[in-house]
Structure 1
């Protein structure tokens, strides 16, 4: 099977490419390398450097006619989406539509869309949140992901294009960029290994559902192999607060000093956690890497990278 992975040279995308290559599929990575890196890719993956908004990206789909489109390319910085919602919509909505139209005319059989389990639900009513929880995004980034899911529903109804929208919890692991929009795990790893203080905003009691990147990549593969359509949460169903996260990472790094506390950031979501019952049922998926082990692996990656 031929699989096109957008954002394929990025953090999550490169692990998705790995999963499909290991399963014996032909994989093409489409990436503009704004944050992705060529060295993230297995040599068996063909890299095409282009922007998802471009005519060239649409032309690639029409020329290659992949059976599957795994769409991970995105403007993923929540803060930037608030500062520049037009840019966010240009990349995340118009860019995606460019690919969807090309997929429609090229006969793509299934789209696996990387959505969000945190930003799409907003402040949750229940914990963990199931897929039928109201979607109340409080950032343009969350809005754009919700729009992507709605467009996929339209393409399914109008053209019969199958899709799975994987609503990720907070993904962490090797290759995550510790700069810019990066998650707290990669930032803490880099600072702990560099002998620098780590900053926790607020009291550190805000919680997140941390899911290891290789588990997320496996979910993408299963979403193609299984006959599932619609949104599916990909997370652990376990809340971990930032204080606990820092303690685990500091212990793994051999650092014995507390984090620096700073005033909380306005608008930050206090709790986020997704219910993975549907993923277990329809994908046969469940997380296999528990948080302490995942943090150990991630820290080892950053230690090796820093040494190099």
Structure 2
């Protein structure tokens, strides 16, 4: 949702209010042209619902995702082109919404370090604008916020040891279950601070104003409609680079471990939290693939080589600030609360993403590899 001049971002439909003519109250997806947002919007649209897609279309792939939604679902997609930093521009989109999913964000640690003020304005102030718009609309609409595991900090006190191509925690309970919500919050980097502040504001609006809110602290989500970059969406970024025959940069030694979650499973979790918001308001949950979908960067690269049937060139650079050696979500609280669990394993999920990238953007270099041409 960032990177575009604000006046340009809000020009098209900002300030307008979608007309629903007595139809079922719509779902509002803030950042609905992004990766997870477009997948969630598609799931509700496929059920016959109306969806307001609020986005400033600044992120790579956002316009393509919005066109995809409109092509599939026509008039039930209600785009509002606006920036969450502009409170007046976004307020009309909330007037009829029965529920709000908030995905719009500045998503890169590196960008936050070079542009901390912009990072704050989007992630912290922008989220406060979303909450106020929902509150002022007077519909008591639920607000489900996409937070991040970065609210737990760099986890520098977490003892880890090398185990082949990955780091593993020395604490047996964390090794078995992952990092739980009882982990103290420890914001580091401007990105961690801005998302952490937003995380806490969302929870407080349930306490201070009675707004039914919930927070999902996400690990690494991947899947179709993801236009990943080096700074965010690393699974898709690795695949795209490898498919096009370009080298991949690993920061650090590549033994960092993350739990990855397919976007279809993530969408299922968001929808289930909304369905149970009466019991879950004011709570934060970890959302990720859990220990069964934990994978190191090195191991994922090995699997990509298996999928593509050719080596992937890599280069190493220095560690980046705030990089966690090991983060795997303990999702037991979420599983218990909504009866959810990941259903797509990381290997078949990676293959699914690979198929989508190949189908959506055929690449001459990949075609040569498929034919066995050096």
Pairing 1:38-117 to 2, within 5 Å after superposition? 38-41=66-69, 42-43=72-73, 44-54=76-86, 55-61=88-94, 64-106=95-137, 107-117=139-149
Equivalence for 2:285 = 232
Q: Is the 8 A contact 2:55 2:104 kept in 1?
A: yes
- CA drift at 1:181: 3.5
TM-score of the pair, normalised by structure 2: 0.77
| Structure-2 separation of matches of 1:15 and 1:111 | 18
- CA drift at 1:258: 4.9
Pairing 1:289-300 to 2, within 5 Å after superposition? 289-300=344-355
Residues 158-189 of structure 1, C-alpha deviations (whole Å, 9 max, x = no match) = 22111110111111111111336332211221
- CA drift at 1:290: 0.4
| Structure-1 separation of matches of 2:90 and 2:113 | 27
Q: Is the 8 A contact 1:123 1:271 kept in 2?
A: no
Unaligned runs of 5+ in 2: 1-24, 159-173, 364-374
| Structure-2 separation of matches of 1:39 and 1:251 | 33
Equivalence for 2:319 = 265
Residues 129-177 of structure 1, C-alpha deviations (whole Å, 9 max, x = no match) = 1111111122211212221122123211222111110111111111111
Residues 85-130 of structure 1, C-alpha deviations (whole Å, 9 max, x = no match) = 111110111111112112112123210000012x111233445111
The DSSP-based 3-state class of the residue aligned with 2:203 is helix
Higher-Rg structure is: 2
Question: Structure 1 stretch 34-43 or stretch 286-295: which is displaced more?
Answer: 34-43
Equivalence for 1:2 = 26
| Structure-1 separation of matches of 2:312 and 2:230 | 24
Residues 185-231 of structure 1, C-alpha deviations (whole Å, 9 max, x = no match) = 11221122112222323321111111111111111111110131210
Equivalence for 2:16 = none
Unaligned runs of 5+ in 1: none
Equivalence for 1:221 = 271
Q: Is the 8 A contact 1:2 1:68 kept in 2?
A: yes
Residues 208-263 of structure 1, C-alpha deviations (whole Å, 9 max, x = no match) = 111111111111111110131210111122231111000111111121x2542313
Question: Structure 1 stretch 66-75 or stretch 32-41: which is displaced more?
Answer: 32-41
